[in-house]
Structure 1
């Protein structure tokens, strides 16, 4: 360990802070291992040519920041229990820094939503004008807590064959708000919540904010490991299971019909509820038939959340929620307490967009463009087979990639790619313990055409070869 610390010789400004900062970086980079004993105070003071008090102050600072544990009579030990959170923080800081220039400067494999280039602004503008001409100022006024009645009627008609009922549909401002208001309505401190491993980082944040106990269940190629889940259910009272039924974020995995039925049966037996985040199910490129958990839910155990933002326009925050009857009132109250109502104008515009058949045409166009990109990226990723492996999602907007070399960190890969103008999403943001995602990254083709995909993956390949 001293060979890393020797670099600190000769520092003069804020010595103990500088020493603590350097040791933190060594822990972050795993050059100092979790639980490894740090040098004795007197020895390190001698190496760095500082007094003992400086080292004591540095170790105290490390302990206060969660990087060390001091054991009386034994010494000071590195602590990595909380350290992996810093990867998420560092990633978020970099993304915020570059977000304003991302569209111009970078090849963006980090996008999660359909490209705005594929959306007809002129048609959308015409619909807005029609709505304003028809409804006047009513289109700009919040009127209905559940959402615009016409939109709820047409969601029921066109997406559910009139099987749900408009009174059971709640309009929300996107899937993230849907998860948030469901959590506020259902979950209390120390309730047990099951999530897929890995899973959507936004959901993890919501459950953490509610101070629930988050239990991760491994994913297989056809969905959650239900044998593993059942062992948990036999020993613990589970309040709800959060999952993405199609093209899961980040893995791209979809649930088999067999697992859907078994999980619904388990929900009834063990008395828990399923939060179904229907993620990008419009973009199916194989011959699989679309079947949501909610559509085969005979025991009213599914809370269904659907966002239009991913495949419509990301800036138009719209989605809807269908809840079991037992929670309908509490979820509606949670929505009202969150923001009273969602944009009335955009609800009416989306309603007309669906009713006049433009939605169907838009989805058809997306499938044509993205299936071509999907096949192209699949073939391009195969050229990196020496460095990576992946499963075929069969739809959606991304691939989840496993790094074959265990010594390559996805955060390091992210930084190296970013320096060469390519953005990827490191796997660390999809795990409760970010350390477990260091061997994975996600690449999306939503914002990139075919030549850009080829160029971006060529750069990623060159970064791997530099290792």
Structure 2
């Protein structure tokens, strides 16, 4: 059955590529085009419909951006039904929103999305804010620099970069998510091509989809992305940028080897693309075998847009971070920041500057490491001793997450596992949340120990194992 034979372009103001994309979406929703069906080649469909190739390319790009198609490199475009993943994402989000502070004490939050626990010393924060107000008075509420509090910029450069950066390149942002958004608005245009890790941070995927760019995914291995597949995409496509989380990648917990970082930087120069480096948890290294050398430290040709968040190490809920712009994009990214929210809270910037310059952050980082390494060790021990036959994982050696994949004999849909665990007040993040296609990640999930103390970890892991076994037994008809 040729579903395209009855399609006719309307003679109205709606662009032809939009009309075609809407028609194909309707056919997918009605299941006349089934999940996984290969869409016609660009040349074939353009000939059948009497339009140029650009119209078909634009229609297919729109379908991909809206979740109705995906691309296999070297093979073509394929249909997918959007609503399953979309509806589950809404269900996941709504389930977490419904958690009230009153019942958080009864919940095991392996998602890390709630704020049941704050390990930052609140008294320190009070003292810092009082000191800033006494010192600066009303000026504490005023911004002296649209790019951020000048003293904070200088302090960041001195303490974290040994004054090796240009202060003009540093922009204070309201957390890593805003940094990604600013970078995206500043350098990406509609239908630009970008590469992301597979899987990757859902917040970044959301930003890139809003920018209507074409996403290419490269599988991530134990020490970073697969370089062979990465370079093949670079050879066939004009790539604008590569988004990466270089330490404790979300969700996999993987950190890049120095060798892969150097090679990727070389490729950035060869193929003329830029790297957006999201460094959000590099302070939480638990093993000496893991050395801290971000892409930006190795960046000799100004190819890296570096984004750093203080939200996990300063205070959850107080969104602060900074972005380091390559000189070529400095003005563009500054304008992008100003157009987003003009300025970030002056009071909290001054408090952060006092916190960093006074060296109080070092003790807090040590205390966080001491606490989180205990949770990491406990969860790793349970996984090794109790889940060896059930699942596999790559040891992150730091950070706040484990990313787990179920073995064949215990393979269940982790969206179903999420729903089952939710009834028992245990919350996980199913793997599908970190992919562009609903077909991926169905047998994987992420566990975070960011909001779980030792008692909750013990309880949650016991319930997790019970529910996996229960679902598997039901599937087998026991």
Normalising by structure 1, we get a TM-score of: 0.82
Q: 1:102–1:412: structure 2 CA closer, same or farther, 3 Å change rule?
A: farther
1:96 Cα deviation after fit:
2.1
Alignment partners' CA distance in 2, 1:304 and 1:437: 28
SS at match of 1:111: coil
Aligned to 1:327: 329
Where structure 2 has 5 or more consecutive residues not aligned to the other structure, the ranges are 1-27, 38-65, 69-78, 472-478
1:100 Cα deviation after fit:
5.1
Query: Which residue, 443, 459, 462 being the options, matches 1:458?
Result: 462
Q: 1:114–1:312: structure 2 CA closer, same or farther, 3 Å change rule?
A: farther
Aligned to 2:401: 398
- Post-superposition Cα deviations, 1:208-263, rounded to whole Å, max 9, x if no partner, equal 00000011000010001111010011110000000000000000000000000000
Correspondences of 1:206-285 after superposition (within 5 Å): 206-285=207-286
Where structure 1 has 5 or more consecutive residues not aligned to the other structure, the ranges are 1-26, 37-64, 68-77
- Post-superposition Cα deviations, 1:16-70, rounded to whole Å, max 9, x if no partner, equal xxxxxxxxxxx99xxxx8479xxxxxxxxxxxxxxxxxxxxxxxxxxxx999xxx
Q: 1:115–1:373: structure 2 CA closer, same or farther, 3 Å change rule?
A: farther
SS at match of 1:316: coil
Aligned to 2:132: 131
1:310 Cα deviation after fit:
1.8
Aligned to 2:53: none
Correspondences of 1:20-419 after superposition (within 5 Å): 34=35, 80=81, 83-98=84-99, 103-111=104-112, 116-287=117-288, 288-382=290-384, 383-405=386-408, 407-419=411-423
Q: 1:179–1:101: structure 2 CA closer, same or farther, 3 Å change rule?
A: farther
Alignment partners' CA distance in 2, 1:244 and 1:79: 27
1:114 touches 1:312 (CA, 8 Å); kept in 2? no
Alignment partners' CA distance in 2, 1:66 and 1:323: 31
1:113 touches 1:309 (CA, 8 Å); kept in 2? no
Alignment partners' CA distance in 2, 1:114 and 1:103: 9
1:93 Cα deviation after fit:
2.3
1:110 touches 1:443 (CA, 8 Å); kept in 2? yes
Alignment partners' CA distance in 2, 1:265 and 1:424: 38
Alignment partners' CA distance in 2, 1:453 and 1:380: 9
Q: 1:190–1:100: structure 2 CA closer, same or farther, 3 Å change rule?
A: farther
- Post-superposition Cα deviations, 1:98-142, rounded to whole Å, max 9, x if no partner, equal 355562331111106997532111111011000000000111123
1:188 Cα deviation after fit:
0.5
Alignment partners' CA distance in 2, 1:322 and 1:135: 27
- Equivalent pairs, count: 400
2:67 touches 2:437 (CA, 8 Å); kept in 1? no
Structure label with greater radius of gyration = 1
Query: Which residue, 444, 447, 451 being the options, matches 1:447?
Result: 451
1:384 Cα deviation after fit:
1.4
1:250 touches 1:400 (CA, 8 Å); kept in 2? yes
Alignment partners' CA distance in 2, 1:285 and 1:80: 41
Root-mean-square deviation (CA, aligned residues, Å) is: 2.3
- Post-superposition Cα deviations, 1:132-159, rounded to whole Å, max 9, x if no partner, equal 0000011112331110011111100110
1:246 touches 1:255 (CA, 8 Å); kept in 2? yes
Alignment partners' CA distance in 1, 2:212 and 2:80: 23
